[in-house]
Structure formats: C-alpha cells, structure tokens
Structure 1
C-alpha cells in the first residue's frame, strides 16, 4: 500500500509538471503572439497621427487626421496584427503555393490553382485600377508590412516554421479572385449537366435539376422590368459530349476546389433586403444583409470603423482588401448577396486548336519540386489534363474573372465614399466579378437595387453545358450596365434577394433556368415582411433575419407523413414529426429526424449518377409527388417512391440511434447540429484541432432564413451567415452587426471567438461610431516617423 501511495504521489507530480509546462507554453505563445493595442508606435509611411481604439469586442475604430490613406494604412496594420496567418494563407491559395508550407498533401490544390491562374489574373488587374485605388492599395500594403514588422508572429507560423513574405499590392487584389470563384460560376453545374445527359438523357435534366418554379418569387417584378426593358441573351443548349475520362479529369479540379472550401452547396448564398420608410415605424429605410459562406476559424470578415478627412465608413472588411466590403458610411448603406449569373463556359477545343503553354514550378516542403505544364487556348486555361494526361479532348475555361482589366476594387472603394444613388451607380459601373445583388438605402429615404458585373451575352445557347470551341458558340460582348437589373424607389417599398431568380418570366437571361437558389428563403422573408402593413422596426427585422421555420418541411410534410414505417423506431419518429410546426430550434427533436431523413432522400440519384450527387429539396419534392424514376433502385429492391421513403426513414433513424442512443426523445437538434468553424490548415490535425477549431449548437436548417444547412453525413453546420448587419437609416448608430466568430485570428487572443455565442443565439453588437457605445476600450496611437 505504501508503494502504491508513493507511485500515486509520483504520478501526481508528473501530471503537475506536465500541466505546468503546458501552461507556461500557452502563456509564452500568448505573450509572443498577442498584438499591441495600447501606447504609441512610430511608423514610416504615415502622413499624420492615427488613433486605433479597439472596443469591447476588439473592433478597431480608426481615426486619421491628415489623410484617408492614413486610415487605410491603419486598416492594413490592424489586419496584419490580428489576421496575419489568414492573410498569408489566402495569398498562398491564390498563388498556388500551399505545398511550400504544407507539403505533398497540398499538391492537388496547387495544381488546380496554378492551372486556373488566379494570381496571374490579379497581376493583370492592378494596372487597370484608378489612381485613387492605387494610392489606397499602396497605403494598405505599407500598413500591412508595418504590422508584420512588429515581431509578434501568429502561432501558425511558429508551428509550420516559416516567416511570411512582405505584402505586395497584387496580394490585395488576389483574394477577390478566389471570392469570384466561390460565388460566381457554374462550371460545376456544366459538369453535372453533362453527366446527367450522358447517363439519363435530356429527360433526366428536369428530374435532377428542376427549373426554377414559375410561381416562385423573383427579385424584381414585371412592372420594374417593364420600366427598365428586358435583358438581352440567348436560349437553347446545344452542347458537346464529353467522354468519361475527360469528366474525371475535370472532376479532379472540382475536388481540389472543394477541399479548399470553395464549393457551391445548397444554402450557401445570402439574404438581403431593403425596406422603404413607407413600411417602417420611423419613416426611414431599414437595410439588412447576411452573406452565407463557409464558416471558418478565423472568420472571413473583420469588423472595422474608418474615419479620415473624407472617408467615413463602418462595416465588414476582408483581411487582405483595403476597403469596407459591406456596411455604411454617414449617408449611404448597402448589402450584398450572390446573383450567381452564368459567367463561365467550358469549351471543347477542336483538334489543331492553337495553344500556348507555360511551365509552373511548385515547391514542395520535404520533397522535390514539381513541374506543371499549363496550356491555354484563346478561350482560357485548359483544365482537362489533370488526371488524364494527354488523353481525351482538351477543355478550356472562359471566365470573366480571369480576363484582364478587372476594376472591382474601384467599385468597393467607390461605395465607401458614395453619398447618393448617383454615386452608388457610378461606383458599380466599375464592378466586374463576382456579380452581386446590391441593395441600397440613404438617409434621405431612397432605396434601390442593382446587379452589376460583366455578364456575357450569348446567342442561340444558354451556357448550361460544355460547347464546341470551333467559333460557333462565342460570347457577343457583355450586357450594358444600363440594361443590368436594377430599380430605384420601387413602388411597393420592398426589395428582397436570397439568390433567387432575378427577373420574371422569359426576360431573365442572366443564367439558365436551373441556376437559381431554391425560392424558400426569398418566399419566407417576403411573407414575414409583408405580413405587417407598416410600422416595421429594427427588432422586427432582427426576428426575420433569425427566423428558423422550415418551408421545406411544410412543402414535404404531407408526402413524408404518408410513409408506412418499416420498424418500431421509424413509427416513433413519424409520431414525433406529425405535430411539428417546422421551427428548427436547438432543442427540437423533429428537426433532427427531418434533416437526417432529408439527407437520405437527397441520395436517391446516387445509384444512377455517383456518390457525389445530391438532389435539391425541389428535386426531392418533384420525385415524391410524381413517383419519379430516381426513387427506383433495383439493387436495393426499391420499386417506387413509397419504397424509397420507407427505406430512407429506416436508414435515418438507425443512424441516429447509433449516434445518439435508442430513445428518440433524446435526439435534440443541438446534439448533432453544431457549427463547425474549423481552421484552414489544422482543422483536421487531431493534436491541434482542439486549439484552433470552434463549435457551438446552432438553430436553423435547410433553406431556413437563418440558413444552417446540415452537412449530409454529419448534420453539422459548415456554411451559414458569416456576418449579419441591420442598418437603421433613421439613426445610423442604432444599427447592429455581428460576425460568426471573433476579431482575433490567434487562439490565444482575447477576441478569438467572443462573437460566436451572440451570433448563435441571435444577438448583435452596436454598429456605432459613437464612443459611448463601445464599452471598455484600449487605444493605440500610430505616429509618423520623422
């Protein structure tokens, strides 16, 4: 017994020593990576003093006296202080240089990124910017490098053992190219369309990719379209057939993009709306926005407030970009959602087509350099050779975001300065990609909408599938800015966008009929805002933005509840679903059953089209209503949709029982539906994931307004409202905003995740330029070097 006592005491001492060493390491890392937020720092590159006052949530309120460039310099400085790793990682993604620091595991991503040429496109964009934008970019670059020089490296740099290179002006444009990919293309749908036609014929398209419903809400009304004229475009879809080997080669690029979180998933889009004063309690507009993107650690957005002699703007910035992307100034507010027009086409180049080539050298940590030959046709990069060598036809990508002369940054900087609708439109003339639905409001009571960007005009074809590159299917320029969808002070006082179809009827030629998001979010927002004839308040708008009632459930309810259960557990699940109102809260058991069941139903086409194919909710509804052919599976002995309903419910409840236990009453939604804000590099590294990843139970589901589509395998939330704001034009400082995680990029920072709990529970921060609203503050003064 004495020996065991001595062993126990010895083990306790070892545990205490290990814990002490771990604590010391954590304290050291915190001390050496936490940025300076108080006192005075002297920096070269400033023309006058700047104060950076961080509020209670770490949001910097920047006040520059001498010039607006100084304010943007300070934005670059704080971005580097708080998000240096994020900025460097994003830059390496655009450059295709991940293998240099992550090793061979990142080779497929680098091949994809180098072949598409994102960074080359950014290099071509820089000379096209206006003189003001070039000045702002230079000031921002100087600020970033001043921040990097402070000697407080992010923990990721220490773990991976490298020092970030100095920032350059091109780096400030490059990330916008990745955002354009994430939000602005349909080449993946062209691949799916080609696969569907190859396997199921033309008739299979409507089953797998149903057209946008004729009676569903559109962003603009027929009256508003009538005022502005129809948008020119093409129709028809004669395409080229691709062999399986070429489809596999193209799939390699798609898989690489998805591994970087760059994928289009149902519910990845955005909501925004603007309400005229005729509908509000104050008589002034209210504008709301919540962009839906992949949720990450650190979060994409960085909240900031910039004030210079002329620049006076607050909202959400993106580290790496020298502007506020979404927000307001003292007179104008704006919000964005993805339009998702068709701005990409795959061209099957004919034999003998003229190609140029270049050699890309990819450095690999711990390995030999890899040489990659990239070919280009007159349409763009050839993207069909990865995984297929020289075999099969060469498929090239044409895309607006890869063309030279991209002046999108001019547009965002112009929005920061806009004082009225004319300034707003003038700024958006420079917008190229990714095309966004901009809603607008100003303090004078005006509201509006514009969908800017370079949108190709096609003649006789709709861009829905790969086409011959023989000259018969070429773009005929772009839709003129004046002909792009827009409205100013609409008569009904309301504009709602949720990635839904923009124009009614046959006038919409921005994309083909299968390109739009399902109409559930747009319909629910419109219904909630229209239910009250007038007197809408900020609190009313918050409730709409946070709404978690599922119209998908209401649509599918009678079809699902008609299922004949195949087990006692399935019967119990149906009993729990029967009285459910569709509100997807964290303590809801029916939410868990419904989403697990829907995930199984969305797999019904996998026996025909492969395991990566998942149907939309609309496609599931159509199959169930029509007893569609996709429900049938000879191997699984399913002869009808009734069979598929029974089998899918059995699989869903058996899976839930294995995960959550045999009692369905214990299957509360929050146990499985948790937000996964995971780190870009260490999110799946077991020894480090716990330190860098952040999670919390979340409400919402597939196509709810507060969108929180569960991952089809895990039911975790990986995409959603990455940022929210609601702007009150009657009193700008009553406006509110919130991010999905926190300001700091370091796991040891005070503000790494302090917004997450508010974001998950539906709370907001004050979007105020008044110091009285900032809570506890710390001020850092930046002074110019003599």
Structure 2
C-alpha cells in the first residue's frame, strides 16, 4: 500500500512537472511571438526622415503612410515592408542574387546557377545606373527604410530562427539595385516564350512536325507559327544527342524530372483578367474598372496593400513635386503602388505575353568560341562562386554570346537531348537590356490624375509588357499595351517558335515596336462596344502590322467575360464582382458531348455517370460532376500523350501545361494515331474507370460526398517551408476554391504534383473593382493577409473573404484607423 502511494505521488509530481514545462514552453512561445511581430502602434525612429511620418492602418487593414514629401513616404514603405514582410524580402533577395544555397544548401543550387548565369543583379546594376537621378534617390530611400525596418529591435521572423540564420550576421543589406532586380524577377515570371521554345525542341526529338502542331496547335483561327519543317530542320543540323547507354539515359531522365528550373519561361495558363466600362454602359454614368491578376499563390501573398500620401511641395534637395495620393497593391521590394488608384484615376494590368525571349543555337567552334554571321567569336566569360550551406563552395564559369547568357550550361534538362559537343543554347531576353526603365513607369503612374497621365507614364514601361486598362473620374477610358517588343526580320521564318541558328543574321532582332504602334483601343471604340476586356487572349486588331507572338493564351476566359459584359443592360460594381466570381468553364462546355457517350462497368459507375452526364460546365466547389470531369479529362490527356512522348518527356512537359487544345483536336477528329487502334471512345471509357479509381482513393466510396472543392483547395505555399511536411501546416495558407484553368475565377492546378494534384496553385492573386463615380467605394481582396508572420492573426485573415469572392473597401481616407505608428527622424 505504501509503495502504491509513493508511486502515485511520483506520478502526480511527474505529471505536474510535465504540465509546468508545457506551460513554460507555451509561455516562452507566446513571449517570442509578441516580441517577433512588428509593433503597429506607438513611436519609432527612422533614420533619414526629413519630417515625421504617420502610419495608419484602416478598418480594411490597408497601411496608409502620411508623409510631408514622397521621399519620406518611400522610405517609410520600405520600413513597413521590412517589418511586415521581412522574410519574404530576404528570401527574394537571396533568389535573385543566386545566393539561396547559402541558406538552404544543395537543393537550391540549380536555381542559384541559373540566376547567376542570367545575371539578374548584373543587369539590374546596369539599369539602375541609367535611371533618372530622382528615381535612383527614391530607390535609395526605400532601401534605407528596409534596412531600418530590419534593424528594429523587436522584429524577428520565425523562418530565420528555424533555419538557424542570424539576420544581423548572415543577411546582406537590401540595396536600391535590388529593387530593380526584383522588377526583373517579375518580368522573368511573366515574360516571353522561352519555355515553349524548349518544349517544342524537346518534343521534336520524337515527334514529326505535323505531330508537334497537333500537340501544340496554333491559336484558334490562326495558321501555324512557322511553315518550316522544323523536325527535319533540327535533324539535318544534328541538334540532338546520340542515344547513350541505358544507364546514362536513366540518369539524364532523372536529372530532367528533378530540374527545379524546368518551368521557368512557361507562360501557359499564367494570366489575368481586366476590363473597363465607359460611362455610357454603367448605371452611374462614370467608368468602372476591374482587375484580377493571376499569379502563383504564395504565403505570404505577393502583394501588400498600402496608401502613399504626401502634399505637393519641395523635396529636401529643393526640387518641387506633385501631390502623391495613391492606394493599392504594392510589391515588397518596390516603393510604389503597382496596381491601384489615385484620387481621380485607376488602372489594371494583364500580361500581354509577347515573344520577348528567343533561344539561339550557338554552333561551337572549338572549346572557347562559337560561330557568328561574321565569323568565329570568343565567348564572354566570368567566374561565379556559390556558397553552399553544409558543403564546399561551387565555382561555375558563365558563358555569354552576342545574344546573351548560355543557359544550356546550367539547366540539366538540356543535357538529356542536346548535342552539347556541337551546340550551346543562349537566350536573348529584352528585360536584361540596360535601357529597361520599368521602375520609372511605376513611379510616375502613382502621380497620375488622368488617363492621359497614365498613358504617358506607361510609355516608359519596358518589361514585362502589360495590357493596361485605364479610367478616370472625368469619364475617360483607354486600353494600351505597354512595353518593349522586338521587331524581327521579314526573313525570320521561325518567328520565335523554336531555337534559331545563332550564326544566321536573319534571326537577329532588328529594333523595337514604337510605343505609338503597340495595340491601343480609344475611348470612342470602347464606347461603341460598351466595354474592353483582356484575359491574355490575342489582342491584335484586324490588319495589325507588327508581330507580337504566336503563343497567346486560349480565348476561353475572354469569351466568358464578353458573354457576361454583353447583357444589354447598364452595369454596376456588383456586376463586376459577380463576373470575377464566375466559375463556368467554356472549355468544359466543348467536352460535354463526349461525357454523354461514356460507358463504364466500374463499381461506382451507376452513381457517377448520372452526375457526370448532368454536369453543365460549372466548376463549383460543391459539384461532384466537376470533380469527375476534371479527373477524367486529366486521365484522357495522359492516355493520349504518354505513348507518343514517352513517360519522361510527358512528365517534363505536363503539369503547368494542360495540352487541352491538343486533346480537343484529337478527340474531334477521333485520331487513332494518337488514341490507339481501339479508338478514342475506348480510350475515353477506360480513362473514366481510371478516374473513378483515383477519386475513390482521394475521397472515399461514398459518391454522394464527392465534390470538387475538397480536391481543389487554394494552396498558398510558403517558401521554402511549404515543401517541409512538418512545417507546411503552420506556414501554408489553404482555403476553399472553385473554377479551373479556363474559368474567369481561375483555379489552375498542376496534376504532375505527387501531392494535391488538383489543388489551385495559380489563381487571382488579388481582386479589385474601382468605381470612378465614387472611388472610395472601390473594393479589393487577396488570399492571405497583410502580415508575413505565420503566427500573426493578420497572416491569413483575408482567406475566407477571398474564397467567397467578398471585398474590403479600398479607401483613400483612414478615418477610424485601427493602429497608428508615429515615425520620427
């Protein structure tokens, strides 16, 4: 008995000790959280200010910076970005400098090699040196603000703690050049057709030219982008590596599929929506403008909403300046509002997607030189050393040609098929040119008070080219494609579709399309139609003389927007919001007849087939039919393409490419050369059986419980902890989502993903609706929250509103501010 009592007491004391330790641990964690989250109230000092600055957060959690001059406002937004998005800024800096391996080790080495080879920071420095002095000073003030924010005694992001990074020792300062570099990184994400050229080159190793055009058909109604028999062209040049041993092939295949840079330069399904309505088509009699840019979802989000306010007056150096009064989406890393409105004007972007990246086959002439139209020329070279955490330094030699950097040296994907004894592949990319002044365009747009001001500001936009819709409170509206696009020679018979022989002058760029000759739609033409919209579709008017690209995004989203805007009744802001919420897929509509023909002996077919055959193309979250359709068409795509491409090429090319136009064309012609001797109907039926098996694995046997939303959550992934299973739950933001890659409310998924293959990974990174009759009734939302701290209540507090397509007011005033922080010199 006494022994039992002693045992019980020992057990009780042990339990109490465990509880006490847990409480102490929880308390320590709470103290850490309190100390690591940036203070939003009170007073702080900011070195370099010429006068006090007030930072107010309004009821929508938009951060408004009230300064006496723009320089102080830009310095203060740098401070705020560092406090709120410190890890995001630091991580992005490492990426563009090619220094990520210093923190993450070997897994990021391939990305570092590519960034060093592209020379992002080298190009940024050259561009910064050519910027106007006032722009340089603005970027320098922003960088100083960032550094002051980092130095804040209370600020510490948990990512640094987990990775064992000491910010004061291991983190290099943010500089003015880094802001230019970050603009280049956005251009890299949205620019050109580099990935499409690579895809065609890879596919042509096993496909004929006709088969390639079946796999990657031209835009609806368009001719092939080139009349050249490009398969024969490459075979005659000896571009492809000779077959190697099975072991070497297996290793090359493994390298190809493991490549972390394979999807850079892929534009398919990367898009956005915007539209503008003139006053003659609105209930108020003044314009409406809507914009929802589609980007990869991330946590924290790519955007940070802020207002910048400063009265007209003089800068500390005596120069005069106009009033700064702008609110909208900023990009941490840049000091201005990228998308938003001033007191009297608003604008919105979609990606034009012109062909501003060309790959060139450089014929090798010995070890150190290559062939040019004027003879042999030496490669330009520079040496780069990459520090790798836990490993020794890695030295690489970067080679460049007259076209640009040689990317085949650092992308393992090229090693699988390129004859590297004869050829290297270099890239010519407009954004790297030293005359790129995109930063200036963004700064000047923030002072615009009219459509005319905006058009002038965006004349300086270089890369990436954007479809800009504009409106002002005086009733003016305009569409303009703003950015630099190369003019190619009339003898260029490849038209940027595939890598071109670098030794032939006919493939060199000639000049740039003048700004006045890029596509534009005037007020009178917009008024005649009642609206103007872009959704990355072909934007060229009939008879347009210049070449922009052959790689337009399909017209499904644009056509759906056109349907909804052409109601015949005058529209209001609520109509704009309902259109942004629309999840009807015109691509699904085209496949509905095939769904009626399907048969199956699967155990779940008697329940699933009626759901599939009653599906009407609405990709709603609660729809079982949408789920069955999405998994079925994915299986159809695999069944058609894998036998032609082979497993490795298919996996390398699929995922971020849907190949939907190819599949639709093959099914329409019932092409047995692709579907197999049993025919396309048998293939479609078998694909349904496979799809039902997959759905049972994903969502269980109860068909009545199946729905698209469970398979299709919006996944805003943290970098890098979204890839770490035990941490992803704390750092990723996951919320409900509808739509697919073809709906206005887009929800693109990557079915090559081993986990969550149907999760939305690319969607509306933010939504905004601007009412020019009352700009303070404008609205916005995005998918995470303003704070970049995963333990802040503001890290994901917009998630549900975004999923429900609700909006927060986007106002210029800050009455009823929730927090106020005073910054003093």
Q: For 1:394 and 1:249, locate their aligned partners in 2 and report how far apart those are by CA, in whole Å.
A: 17
1:451 counterpart SS class: strand
1:40 counterpart SS class: strand
2:820 to 765, 772, 779: 779
Q: For 2:162 and 2:427, locate their aligned partners in 1 and report how far apart those are by CA, in whole Å.
A: 37
TM-superposed deviation, 1:572:
3.0
Q: For 1:265 and 1:578, locate their aligned partners in 2 and report how far apart those are by CA, in whole Å.
A: 33
Question: Residue 465 of structure 1 aligns with which residue?
Answer: 498
2:485 to 448, 455, 477: 455
Question: Residue 94 of structure 2 aligns with which residue?
Answer: 92
Q: Could you say if the C-alpha distance between residues 215 and 174 of structure 1 is closer, same or farther in structure 2, counting changes exceeding 3 Å? A: closer
Question: Residue 539 of structure 2 aligns with which residue?
Answer: 502
Name the stretch that deviates more: 478-487 or 160-169: 160-169
The reply to whether residue 762 of structure 1 matches residue 801 of structure 2 is no
Question: Residue 475 of structure 1 aligns with which residue?
Answer: 509
What are the superposed Cα offsets for residues 8-58 of structure 1, whole Å, 9 maximum, x if unpaired?
857754663454244224313212211111112222211111110012343
The reply to whether residue 690 of structure 1 matches residue 723 of structure 2 is no
What are the superposed Cα offsets for residues 522-546 of structure 1, whole Å, 9 maximum, x if unpaired?
0000100101x23201101100011
Q: For 1:630 and 1:566, locate their aligned partners in 2 and report how far apart those are by CA, in whole Å.
A: 26
1:488 to 494, 508, 522: 522
TM-superposed deviation, 1:253:
9.1
TM-superposed deviation, 1:91:
0.9
2:180 counterpart SS class: helix
- Structural mapping, 1:231-270, within 5 Å: 241=234, 242-244=239-241, 256=259, 258=261, 262=264, 264=266, 266-270=268-272
What are the superposed Cα offsets for residues 83-113 of structure 1, whole Å, 9 maximum, x if unpaired?
0110111111111100001111211111111
Question: Residue 223 of structure 1 aligns with which residue?
Answer: none
The reply to whether residue 593 of structure 1 matches residue 593 of structure 2 is no
Quick check: 2:644–2:674 contact (8 Å CA) kept in 1? no
Alignment RMSD (CA, Å) = 2.5
Q: For 1:42 and 1:121, locate their aligned partners in 2 and report how far apart those are by CA, in whole Å.
A: 34
1:380 to 396, 404, 412: 404
Q: For 1:18 and 1:506, locate their aligned partners in 2 and report how far apart those are by CA, in whole Å.
A: 76
The reply to whether residue 206 of structure 1 matches residue 186 of structure 2 is no
Name the stretch that deviates more: 141-150 or 363-372: 141-150
The reply to whether residue 61 of structure 1 matches residue 64 of structure 2 is yes
Quick check: 1:266–1:616 contact (8 Å CA) kept in 2? no
What are the superposed Cα offsets for residues 125-146 of structure 1, whole Å, 9 maximum, x if unpaired?
1012122211211211121111
2:630 counterpart SS class: helix
1:663 to 696, 702, 710: 702
Name the stretch that deviates more: 687-696 or 598-607: 598-607
TM-score (norm 1): 0.92
Q: For 2:781 and 2:707, locate their aligned partners in 1 and report how far apart those are by CA, in whole Å.
A: 26
Q: Could you say if the C-alpha distance between residues 726 and 608 of structure 1 is closer, same or farther in structure 2, counting changes exceeding 3 Å? A: same
Question: Residue 439 of structure 2 aligns with which residue?
Answer: 409
Question: Residue 577 of structure 1 aligns with which residue?
Answer: 612
Question: Residue 130 of structure 1 aligns with which residue?
Answer: 132
Question: Residue 276 of structure 1 aligns with which residue?
Answer: 278
Q: For 1:258 and 1:630, locate their aligned partners in 2 and report how far apart those are by CA, in whole Å.
A: 32
2:454 to 424, 440, 448: 424
Q: Could you say if the C-alpha distance between residues 639 and 508 of structure 1 is closer, same or farther in structure 2, counting changes exceeding 3 Å? A: farther
- List alignment gaps of at least 5 residues for structure 1: 217-233
Question: Residue 41 of structure 2 aligns with which residue?
Answer: 38
1:544 to 554, 561, 579: 579
Name the stretch that deviates more: 479-488 or 160-169: 160-169
1:607 to 620, 628, 643: 643
The reply to whether residue 521 of structure 1 matches residue 564 of structure 2 is no
Question: Residue 175 of structure 1 aligns with which residue?
Answer: 182
Q: Could you say if the C-alpha distance between residues 399 and 8 of structure 1 is closer, same or farther in structure 2, counting changes exceeding 3 Å? A: same
Name the stretch that deviates more: 180-189 or 662-671: 662-671
Question: Residue 686 of structure 2 aligns with which residue?
Answer: 647
Question: Residue 767 of structure 2 aligns with which residue?
Answer: 724
Q: For 1:385 and 1:271, locate their aligned partners in 2 and report how far apart those are by CA, in whole Å.
A: 37
Q: Could you say if the C-alpha distance between residues 703 and 8 of structure 1 is closer, same or farther in structure 2, counting changes exceeding 3 Å? A: farther
Q: For 2:430 and 2:259, locate their aligned partners in 1 and report how far apart those are by CA, in whole Å.
A: 21
Quick check: 2:485–2:548 contact (8 Å CA) kept in 1? no
Q: Could you say if the C-alpha distance between residues 256 and 80 of structure 1 is closer, same or farther in structure 2, counting changes exceeding 3 Å? A: farther
The reply to whether residue 357 of structure 1 matches residue 361 of structure 2 is no
2:364 counterpart SS class: coil
Q: Could you say if the C-alpha distance between residues 528 and 149 of structure 1 is closer, same or farther in structure 2, counting changes exceeding 3 Å? A: same
Q: Could you say if the C-alpha distance between residues 250 and 43 of structure 1 is closer, same or farther in structure 2, counting changes exceeding 3 Å? A: farther
Quick check: 1:271–1:498 contact (8 Å CA) kept in 2? yes
2:593 to 534, 551, 558: 558
Q: For 1:269 and 1:748, locate their aligned partners in 2 and report how far apart those are by CA, in whole Å.
A: 31
Q: Could you say if the C-alpha distance between residues 88 and 476 of structure 1 is closer, same or farther in structure 2, counting changes exceeding 3 Å? A: same
The reply to whether residue 703 of structure 1 matches residue 742 of structure 2 is yes
Name the stretch that deviates more: 411-420 or 300-309: 411-420
Quick check: 1:673–1:697 contact (8 Å CA) kept in 2? yes
Q: For 1:14 and 1:695, locate their aligned partners in 2 and report how far apart those are by CA, in whole Å.
A: 36
Q: For 2:284 and 2:802, locate their aligned partners in 1 and report how far apart those are by CA, in whole Å.
A: 26
Q: Could you say if the C-alpha distance between residues 566 and 44 of structure 1 is closer, same or farther in structure 2, counting changes exceeding 3 Å? A: same
Quick check: 1:586–1:670 contact (8 Å CA) kept in 2? yes
Q: Could you say if the C-alpha distance between residues 16 and 417 of structure 1 is closer, same or farther in structure 2, counting changes exceeding 3 Å? A: same
TM-superposed deviation, 1:456:
0.9
Quick check: 2:241–2:420 contact (8 Å CA) kept in 1? no
TM-superposed deviation, 1:301:
0.3
Q: For 1:623 and 1:19, locate their aligned partners in 2 and report how far apart those are by CA, in whole Å.
A: 62
Name the stretch that deviates more: 199-208 or 473-482: 199-208
TM-superposed deviation, 1:271:
0.4
Q: For 1:253 and 1:480, locate their aligned partners in 2 and report how far apart those are by CA, in whole Å.
A: 40
User: Size of the alignment, in residue pairs?
Assistant: 757
Q: Could you say if the C-alpha distance between residues 711 and 11 of structure 1 is closer, same or farther in structure 2, counting changes exceeding 3 Å? A: farther
1:342 to 333, 338, 355: 355
Question: Residue 229 of structure 1 aligns with which residue?
Answer: none
TM-superposed deviation, 1:627:
1.0
What are the superposed Cα offsets for residues 612-644 of structure 1, whole Å, 9 maximum, x if unpaired?
2334322221111111246435xxxx6311122
Quick check: 1:566–1:646 contact (8 Å CA) kept in 2? no
The reply to whether residue 300 of structure 1 matches residue 299 of structure 2 is no
Q: For 1:332 and 1:75, locate their aligned partners in 2 and report how far apart those are by CA, in whole Å.
A: 22
Quick check: 2:56–2:814 contact (8 Å CA) kept in 1? no
Question: Residue 314 of structure 2 aligns with which residue?
Answer: none
